Copies of this chain bind each other. A is one copy, B any other.
């Protein structure tokens, strides 16, 4: 096991009826800005629950945070926090709303110049407005980590930052808030969580207990995924899914093991350039990354085949079969896994490679065997 430093102070309130408790967790005298997205929280009753829990409190609303939250929109929210003298941000929504709110929190107290540099130059975040979250879409894990991914529309860039100052003070995970999600968003959420785990597990390294935790999460998603997407919502499976997506990226399974974020890295370009759903990009890219690394990560690929898919690792085709099963799993969730399914061709691949070159990238996700040398080949294999 490699050395690590683990710290995650997010308080998780999980289950039915937990939204009612949020009033007590935000300091009495704080002026709160409630942030949300396209307004689904108004239709599904979540906003009403939140407002009821905050009755008698000073609350300002900022809606309209986009999927793949835009820098331009978030900077307007930063302006509002200043005009309204906001003390506390409460994000109500999915990964985009929470990620966007993390950026608002950091940018509102950023004194180091242009807040864009938090994303473009990893400018240091020394402070942030306190924030919390009410999660409505299990997928990204942002409700229990310190990461955020933001898109700049004007330059079509999708970039990430991380700071311990943007850990949510608390996050409410009520599985019932997911009942109104469209099928497509549930499928994307399952894929996002699955790929998060793979990026912390499917590497040349690992550790016995960390591998077991990762495999446990993967198996749960494999066993639960199709019913989550195809059946009417039901509390227990939605609860397991909600917590599983959080576990997939709350820092725990990353402890002491190598990581390879190349699937996300490449996927972000497909979203930034062609507007594909985040989950869809991962379903397209992961099988290509697995194929390209099947030799360099052979031991782990066979372990994955055996433990996640019950494929006999002694079979000569065990590795290939495990990759095929992974892709078939995404398809079973209703997600097409080829670039051509989305009318994306070689010219987009050229554009991505050009961007990697411009930014001076060599390896793409943390491990040498996925790099700008084989990224084109990976993407071509996914046409």
Q: Are B256 and A14 in contact (CB under 8 A)?
A: yes
Q: Whole-angstrom distance between the alpha carbons of A256 and B207 in the complex?
A: 26
Please indicate the chain B residues that have their CB under 8 angstroms from the CB of A345 in the complex: none
CB-defined contacts of A13 to chain B, threshold 8 Å: 5
Residue A18 interfacial (CB < 8 Å): yes
Q: Which residues of B contact A255 (CB under 8 A)?
A: 12, 14, 243
Which of A40-48, A85-93, A208-216, A369-377 lies at the binding interface? A208-216
Chain B min CB distance to A267 (Å): 24
Pick the 5 closest A-B CB pairs, nearest first. Answer: A212-B216, A3-B15, A9-B9, A1-B239, A7-B11
Docked CA distance A16–B15 (Å): 39
- B18–A209 CB distance below 8 A: no
A48–B188 Cα distance when bound, in Å, is 52
Q: Do the beta carbons of B9 and A5 come within 8 Å of each other? A: no
Among A13, A17, A219, A243, chain B packs the most CB atoms within 10 A around the CB of: A243
How many monomers of this chain does the complex have?
Answer: 2
* Nearest-neighbor residue (CB-CB) of A217 within chain B: B209
Q: A1-B239, A16-B3 are in contact. Are A220 and B216 (CB under 8 A)?
A: no
Residues B3 and A14 in contact, CB atoms below 8 Å apart: yes
Q: Which of B6, B175, B209, B239 contacts A216, CB < 8 Å?
A: B209
Q: A5 near B14 (CB under 8 angstroms)?
A: yes
Within 8 A of B (CB), among A239-271: 239-240, 243-244, 247, 252, 255-256
Q: Using CB atoms, name the residue of chain B closest to A21.
A: B5
A7 (CB) vs chain B CBs: closest residue = B11
Asked if A121 is at the interface (CB within 8 A of a chain B CB), the reply is: no
Q: Specify which chain B residues have a CB less than 8 angstroms from the CB of A213 in the assembled complex.
A: 213, 216-217, 247
A159 is an interface residue with CB less than 8 A from chain B: no
Q: Could you tell me if B14 and A247 are in contact, using CB atoms closer than 8 angstroms?
A: no
Give A70 to B36 CA distance when docked, in angstroms.
53
Q: Mark A196-215, 1 if CB is under 8 A from B, else 0.
A: 00000000000111101101
